[in-house]
Structure 1
Amino acid sequence: MRKWWPLVAVCLGTFMFLLDTTVLSVALPEIGEGLSAPLPALQWVANVYTLVLAVLMLMMGALADRFGARTVYVAGLMVFGVASLACGSAPNAGALVAARAAQGVGGAAMAVTTFALIGSCYRGPDMGRAMGVFGAVSGLAAAVGPMLGGALTQYLGWRSVFFLNLPLVAVTVALTLRVLAPGRQGTGTRIDLPGMVVFALCAGSLTYALTSAGEVGWASPAVLGPLALAALALAVFARVELRSPAPLLDVALFGRAAFSAVMMCVVASTAAFAALVYTSVWLQSGLGLGPARAGLALMPLALASFATSLISGRRLHGRSPRAVLATGLLLSGIGCALQAGLDAGASAVSLAPGLALTGVGVGLLGPAMGAAVFAALPPERGGMAAGAMTTFRQLGQTLGVAVLGVLFQQGGGAMTEGLDRVLIAAAAAGIIGSVLAYVFVPRPAAANAPAPARRDLTDSR
């Protein structure tokens, strides 16, 4: 039993990190009421966390290489805990957004080190068992997030969603220091600080413009200015990365059609989760459900995703990632389409079949996404592929919430009509992503997929 304590320490941190990406969706309406925050402010409460994750993932990988995975993991846990306390104590929406950004810093450090820590402790069959447990915990976090968030919000208040992290952080830090060895530290890893700053400026400006567009319109200087800044920053980022000896992201890789298509598939895979923010708003503000009942209404997606990921991880191992990825995206898109078509008589039950089908699609995507990314590049670029995948997943979630927010508010119509537009857009993203996957994702050699996957988020080069 003693040999599995390191896995427990890693899984506890992973559970917290992933829980905070899903648990908040049900709590947002109560946060808006409690802090008198409008919808754009609530979008930032959700967006800033994933935005910071997207910006810092690659840099945190470099820090883990330099200072050791355990050091970065523990530091991330401590930052995450302090930020959670600040979130739960926030007096207004601005303070909450700032604290959520700090949470993202800690979350990025926690996320990039998990695979390295598991890889340092387990080999052979034990590695397979450890990764199976790790995958199950990841699915469990997604499954219980909406329900746990709803129950905590309704019975203890939305602040308890953040305060819950405090004892978990304390236990995880103590356990990590006791059961995980410090590991080796490197000295030669360089951090591409200019690239990180310009990428942050691009992603932040674009997110701000899209978030503002639903409220002030596309022609407003508050939208056009940040859009222009984002375009300029993107051009500068490409130039900086092409000249950097140790780039965050080798932009020349986007000259490969397969790699570009897979990155688009990664972004498309986040649309269904981004739509949940507005589904939750409709369930609570439109139908008048409490947070707990709203969380329960979203459970078909989470449970279907959890069950499918457990089954597909074993039965689809070694299958072509092209077929699995295309099928997962297609089912996710069709599931979103089935949720659309809401009318004045719609209820939470109306969403259940579509949510369940979307969950099956999402469950298929997890095991296939990494294999598809690694199939698009040579094995020696595995670290770069993993970092790009993680960054685009978080950035896709952030931009998805912003873009779908514009559709949700468009025309000032009824809330049901706004949710319909959101679900149709999410369905289109899934279906288009499915076509891209089927056409462009190559069939990898079976031996190429597993090895880079174990490096996953730990190599930023």
Structure 2
Amino acid sequence: MHRLRSAGFASIAGIVGFLAFVEFTSGILQGYYTPLLTDIARHLGIHDADVNWLEGAQLMLSALVVPVLAKLGDMLGQRKVLLVSTAVTALASFGLVFAQEFWMFLVAWALQGFYVIWLPIEIALIWSRTRERPNSARLTRTSAGVLVAALQLGAIAGALSAGALAETLPVPVLLLIPAVAVALCFFVILFGVKEAPNPVGGSLDYPGLLLLSFALIAFTGGLSLLRVNGPADLFSWLIVMLGLALLAVFARVELSRPDPLIDVRLFRSSALWPVFLTAGLFGVSVLGAQAPLSTFARTDPSVYGYGLGASAGQTSILIGSYVLSMVAGALLYAQVMKLLAPRLALIGASGLVATGYLLFLPFHDGYVQAVTNMVIAGIGSGALVAALPSAAAAAAPATQTGVATGLTNSVKTLGGAMASCVFGIALLGTLTSAPAAGEGTAGSLTGYFTVWTVCGLTAVAAAVALCFVPKTAFQDAPERVGQPPVAV
């Protein structure tokens, strides 16, 4: 925040401070519930396996609402959309407290997924308020780093507070804490954040919205069925293919619309298509690999011949190290921009993600090895979380800022959904049975090798795609004509 104030942007620094509180709360939502999932399952009287439906429902809704809310942000103003999405998230969070049936809890959990629009909308808001300033791209990058750091710190605070309170408070009281935090966010936005200037107006593309809804429901639903029924289930594949076909129809319809829900021509931009592709590939590791990391850490090597045999506390430290390294990566990204062009920094961040996961292939036998690998991947991941929406905002047309930043989140979510399906099949396809009754089962080492390889190679593919970005993309105009950062 000091860097923002010293640059003469006290008003923007204040807005970033309020938005950082919002992202801290977003982190709480993402970190708080995970340690409580078993307690929630017991509270609702459901099997542990049914908890997976919570993730699937929220993922499906998130993929749908992000492009719609991003478009509404450009049309009506980002602050208005931020307020509405926060209100829905708050109501859903309180709904979790009072839900006594699983289906009620599932609906509230899915609606809570409205928070996924917060970060792209916030970055679009900052970009819109600074667009006329000479160093708007640099200011947006720095702001994004602060917001992502707040997000990850919130995730740590949420996980630690949930773990500390789980033994002393009943589940409804535990669920009340994040609900109150989200309610506070609404008033922080209401009184602390000003609207972006000059919303572009227009009308919502309802035919496009209907097509996109059916396409995403079919695609993500088919992936969920594949994970449950296995890769041999023909019906699941037909649903996935239906979703892809509807996405193709949606793209053709949007090309003919004067004011489309998503301007698919953005994917033709030489600066934007590598960013969107990178976001999708990045979603594979940042959204799909965390559960396999946790289960590998808890696997007992004395029983299965692999794994770390870590306790719950040691696993928390491993995940905490990853999250803290993401904080460092997010904050370092803006500083690296002083030495390198944004394009090179994005390539370097993707390279760190690839290095961290590919190092698991030879080095996975010790706790220190796993922590080292995850810290390397985490630094790159934190930089990408901050960089991708800010890069999309800098490269997008003025009337499409919210749509572009939202698309980075949408395609990242779809990448995570596909990865979740692939990794679930890889780990469940070949089970290693425990030698003694009662020991349970664990995914095969081959399955974990698949996870690490896919995460590493998708990050390599992202780095290659970013090589096609124009050298001066995502930079402020004076940098292009004056003394630009190193660009090769």
What TM-score do you get using the length of structure 1 for normalisation?
Answer: 0.81
Percent of pairs identical after alignment?
Answer: 21
Partner of 1:191: 204
Q: Determine if contact 2:226/2:237 at 8 Å carries over to the other structure.
A: no
Distance 1:383 1:121 in 2: 13
Superposed displacement of residue 340, structure 1:
4.1
How many aligned residue pairs are there?
446
* Among candidates 231, 244, 253, match of residue 257 of structure 2: 244
Q: Which residue of the partner structure matches residue 316 of structure 1?
A: 337
Measure the CA separation in 2 of the matches of 1:131 and 1:377.
15
Query: 1:360, 1:105 → 2: CA distance?
Result: 27
Answer yes or no: is 1:12 the counterpart of 2:31.
no
Q: Whose helix fraction is larger, Structure 1's or Structure 2's?
A: 1
Residue 428 (structure 1) aligned with residue 438 (structure 2): no
Distance 1:237 1:183, change over 3 A: closer
Is the 2:336–2:345 Cα contact (8 Å) retained in structure 1?
no
Shift of the 12–126 alpha-carbon distance from structure 1 to 2, 3 Å rule, reads farther
Tell me the residue number matched to 2:351.
330
Work out whether residues 153 and 292 of structure 1, in 8 Å CA contact, stay in contact via their aligned partners in 2. Answer: no
- Residues 209 and 227, structure 1, Cα contact 8 Å, conserved in 2: yes
Alignment partner of 1:56 is 2:65: yes
Match of 1:136 in 2: 146
Aligned to 1:275: 289
Aligned partners of 1:29 and 1:281 also within 8 Å: no
Change beyond 3 A, Cα 1:238–1:448: farther
Q: 1:304 aligns with which of 300, 320, 325?
A: 325
- Structure 1, unmatched stretches of 5+, are 452-461
Which piece of structure 1 moves more, 245-254 or 377-386?
Answer: 377-386
C-alpha displacement of 1:192: 1.7
Q: Distance in 2 between matches of 1:284 and 1:33?
A: 21
- Of 390, 400, 406, which aligns to 2:425? 406
Letter in 1 for 2:66: M
Shift of 1:368: 4.2
Equivalent pair of 2:85/2:114 in contact (CA under 8 Å): yes
AA aligned to 1:390 is N
Q: Point out the more displaced range, 330-339 or 1-10.
A: 1-10
Residues 1:159 and 1:318: Cα distance change in structure 2 (over 3 Å): farther
Output the CA distance in 2 between the equivalents of 1:75 and 1:378: 25
2:374 counterpart of 1:355: yes
How high is the TM-score relative to the length of structure 2? 0.77
Displacement, 1:351? Answer: 1.3
Paired residue type of 1:276: Q
Q: Offset at 1:383?
A: 5.1
Return the letter of the residue paired with 1:435: V
Cα separation, partners in 2 of 1:195 and 1:275, compared to 1, 3 Å: same
Asked if 1:149 is matched to 2:159, the reply is yes
Structure 2 CA distance for partners of 1:179 and 1:251, relative to 1, 3 Å: closer
Q: Secondary structure in 1 aligned to 2:359?
A: helix
Residue 448 of structure 2 is aligned with which of 419, 429, 446?
A: 419
AA matched with 2:122: T
**Structure 2 residues without counterparts, runs of 5 or longer:** 301-307, 433-441, 481-488
What letter matches 2:25 in structure 1? Answer: M
Mapped partners of 1:78, 1:380: distance in 2: 25
- Tell me how far apart the structure 2 counterparts of residues 13 and 398 of structure 1 sit (CA, whole Å): 25
Say what the alpha-carbon RMSD is for the aligned residues. Answer: 3.8
Give the direction of change, closer, same or farther, for the CA distance of 1:48–1:66 in structure 2 (3 Å limit): same
Select which of 245, 253, 258 maps to 1:232: 245
Alpha-carbon distance change, 201 to 101 in structure 1, aligned in 2, over 3 angstroms: same
Return the letter of the residue paired with 1:240: V
2:230 maps to 1:217:
yes
- Give the whole-Å Cα distance in 2 for the aligned partners of 1:243 and 1:401: 34
The structure-2 alpha-carbon separation of the partners of 1:327 and 1:34, relative to structure 1 and needing over 3 Å to count, comes to farther
- Take 2:395 and 2:121, find their aligned partners in 1: how far apart are those partners? 24
Work out the CA distance in 2 between the residues paired with 1:187 and 1:330.
37
Q: What is the letter of the counterpart of residue 65 of structure 2? A: L
CA distance in 2, matches of 1:11, 1:301: 20
Counterpart contact for 2:24–2:153, Cα < 8 Å:
no
